[in-house]
Amino acid sequence: MREADKGRDQYLRIYRKTMDNSICFLAHWELTYKCNLGCRHCYAAGRKDGKEFSYEEARPIIDELRDMGCLYLIFSGGEILMRDDFFDIASYARGQGFALRLMTNATLIDEAVSEKIASLYPLAVETSIYAADKDLHDAITSSAGSFDKTIKAARLLKERNVRVIFKFLIMNDNIGEFRAVRSLAGEIGADFVFDFCVVGKNDGSKAPLRYRLDKEKIKDFFISNDLPLGKKEADDEDLLCIAGLNNIFITPHLDVYPCIGLDVKLGNLREGSLKDIWRSSEELNFVRNINLPDLPKCKSCGLAQFCFRCSGIALSEDNDILGPSNFDCSVAAAVSEIAAEKEELINNGK
Amino acid sequence: MDMKTRIPARSGKTASRVIDGEAVIVLLDKQETIVLSDVGSRIWEIMDGKKDIGEISGAIISEFDATHEEALKDITEFVEDMVQRGAVEVK
Ligand code: SF4
């Protein structure tokens, strides 16, 4: 008998089941708003008033998540290592069978901390690198020396076989650093992902949006780096957001949201249980049940094949959770124009 | 050594959850995922690092209507397979 079946299909079937049956399979938990850096575009700069949860408060929540079927926990901040009890929380979660993913600026990771992180066997440690030019990176984090510390930490983690992911947030003034950061990741053995989705602050401020690329810059970026365009098979794929289907977001004050980017507060864990919110929140049920016909403009949009619409941005920037996200419209328009230009070249035999 | 008295335990390099009777196991160091069948999932659930294979087979016999020999053979094969994959350690 060979009981174990590690087939990807089996896993995808279970994953699908968690979405169809509303099983909370993944939780993203922001552990603190405290941070030792001052990234100029940081979304988490608002909502600082209030009492952050304690280790004693965390344990029953972790137990509840375990009982709900949750397997994956993402810990982010602020800076997770600003909490003195970070390893207590993380070790407790590991003891309850969770797989962890850690988001950190990594500047507080020395040899001893990297050992402790490695002993948690995290699926990945994700860290933002804004430039391979250390002065530019440090200017963006408003912290001299942060680049060197983060890179040193990445090397320490890699030496201990921890998967490291460099996240490159592309903004107006670091767009030229794309290739260099990608090479740096390759040199260190880190994975590399990029994004150009600068978002507003969690207190409603739109100040960070001034760093965001406009449509023409996005187009130039794709063309100059010869990147794949990410055309989808079906129009409706990814127009519907998965927030709240099998995942949840918790803040340091124990407020609960469907997703980090979707400003629809569902409740607070000091006032009620996560299970109750998960089962009974009207807001959550509304978010979960949004279907393509409910999106009046997007459902018949010609750019849908190129669009990865975010309901959170649609709500926070365009004031309608069911409407288009104008930012995503501009990305989709940029990508579709490049695709059309490429097709024309092919048709002309060039 | 008699297999019956050996004690299997989940490896510390795994994360897992049982979803609707099916155990999903993440091999954290290999970044792989395994999904177990109903019997395997039940063995995984019972396997607490304290019960030996004899005790686990007692539970499987009653829950799955298996003979003593069948259960012991299945559990032994399961444990060996999982040890090979790095999901289980045996004391
Ligand atoms: S491009 Fe804009 S309007 Fe079209 S599907 Fe995307 S968000 Fe909706």
Chain A residues in contact with B19 (beta carbon < 8 A): 14, 17-18, 23, 25, 69
What distances in angstroms separate CA A347 from CA A340, A341, A344, one per listed residue? 10, 10, 5
pLDDT above 80: residue A7: no
Atom in ligand 1 nearest the alpha carbon of residue A304? 5
Whether the model clears a pTM of 0.90, i.e. scores above it, the answer is: yes
Element (H, E) at A288: helix A282-288
**By the 8 A CB rule, do B16 and B43 touch?**
no
Q: Which residues of chain B are within 8 Å of residue A4 when distances are taken between CB atoms? A: 34, 36, 40, 78, 81-82, 85, 87
Closest CA to B60 of B48, B74, B79: B74
3-state SS string for chain B = CCHHHCCEEECCCEEEEEECCEEEEEECCCCEEEEECHHHHHHHHHCCCCCCHHHHHHHHHHHHCCCHHHHHHHHHHHHHHHHHHCCEEEC
Give the mean model confidence (pLDDT) for residues A47-71.
93
pLDDT, tens digit (0-9, with 9 covering 90-100), for A267-282: 999 999 999 999 999 9
Q: Do B81 and A3 touch (CB under 8 A)?
A: yes
Length of chain B: 91
User: Helices A178-188 and A146-159, interaxial angle, to 10°?
Assistant: 40
What residue of A is the nearest CA neighbor of B22? A14
pLDDT tens across A112-170, in order? 999 999 999 999 999 999 999 999 999 999 999 999 999 999 999 999 999 999 999 99
In A, minimum Cα distance to B86 occurs at A4
- B78 contacts A25? CB cut-off 8 A: no
Q: How confident is the model at residue A350 (pLDDT cuts 50, 70, 90)?
A: low
**Ligand 1 centroid vs A347 CA: distance in angstroms?**
27
Interchain contact B15–A (C-beta under 8 A): yes
Beta strands in A22-178 (DSSP E): 26-30, 72-76, 99-103, 124-128, 164-169
pLDDT of residue A234: 64
Ligand 1 centroid – CA A333 distance (Å): 9
* DSSP structure class, residue A84: T
DSSP state of A163: -
Residue pair B79/B88 in contact by the 8 Å Cβ criterion: yes
B29–chain A nearest CA distance, Å: 7
- Contact between B51 and B7 under an 8 Å Cβ cutoff? The reply is yes
| Ligand 1 pocket, residue A164 CB under 6 Å | no
pLDDT at A349 over 80: no
Q: Which of A238, A239, A292 to mutate to test the pocket of ligand 1 (most atoms within 8 A of CB)?
A: A239
What does the alpha-carbon distance between residue A310 and residue A313 come to, in Å, rounded to a whole number?
5
**Cβ pair B18, B10 in contact under 8 A:** no
CB neighbours of residue A6 within 10 Å: 16
Enumerate residues 37 to 76 of chain B having a beta carbon within 8 A of any beta carbon in chain A: 37, 39-40, 43, 73-74
A53 DSSP assignment: P
A177-191, A227-241, A294-308, B30-44: lowest mean pLDDT where? Answer: A227-241
Mean pLDDT of A305-327: 92
3-state secondary structure of A126: strand
- Check pLDDT > 80 for residue A4: no
Q: Considering only alpha carbons, which residue of chain B is nearest residue A94?
A: B15
First to last CA, chain B: 11
Residue of A nearest to B33 (CA): A6
Model pLDDT, residue A236 = 57
Residue nearest to atom 5 of ligand 1 (CA): A298
How is domain B3-90 classified at the architecture level of CATH?
A: Alpha-Beta Complex (3.90)
Q: Give me the sign of the Cα torsion angle A285, A288, A293, A296.
A: positive
Q: Do A122 and B28 touch (CB under 8 A)?
A: yes
Quick check: ipTM above 0.90?
yes
CB of A2 within 8 Å of a chain B CB? The answer is yes
Which tops the pLDDT comparison, A9 or A125?
A: A125
CA distance A102 to A153: 13
Query: Pick from B15, B17, B28: which is nearest to A69 by CB?
Result: B17
Determine whether the interchain pair A97/B16 forms a contact, defined as Cβ–Cβ distance below 8 Å: yes
pLDDT tens readout for residues B49-81: 999 999 999 989 988 888 989 899 999 999 999
Q: Does the Cβ of A298 fall within 6 Å of ligand 1?
A: yes
Assigned token pair, A146? 């942060």
The alpha carbon torsion through A145, A149, A152, A154 (nearest 10 deg) reads: -130
**Cβ A90 vs Cβ A101: under 8 Å:** no
